[in-house]
Structure 1
Amino acid sequence: MHEMWVGADAAGGGLVWHVVAADTATTQCGQRRQSEGVAGCDSTDRHCLECMTAFQGIMQAPARS
């Protein structure tokens, strides 16, 4: 299972939504996830392109038997 987490943009452009697997401590782009994200800052509509590209690859991968 994956979830969305608000964190800093790797390029330093503010906050973005990252994709993180529920059982890992890092986002798909390699950022270390804080346990609660950035408090009160979940209203961004921006997404981490690197995370979204990685997640798209996960979703399009053939199912494992």
Structure 2
Amino acid sequence: AGSALVGLPEDIVELEPAGTADDYASVLYSRLRQADRLGLSVLVCVPPPEVGVGVAVNDRLRRAAAS
């Protein structure tokens, strides 16, 4: 909703900061679980700014990328 990425195929999981880092954090785990369910090996993310909650969100993204 409100994304620049329109008309994505069903096997593409969108994860971009549409709003605040708090908004991003609120959907982060559901998007990661969705990617797992789809068996995706690559998840491209637009990280939020490294301030406030964005620091924790980016840490989680880095740990997910390392696993």
* Band the TM-score falls in, shorter-chain normalisation: under 0.3
Of Structure 1 and Structure 2, the greater helix share is in 2
TM-score, scaled relative to structure 2 = 0.27
Q: More strand per residue: 1 or 2? A: 1
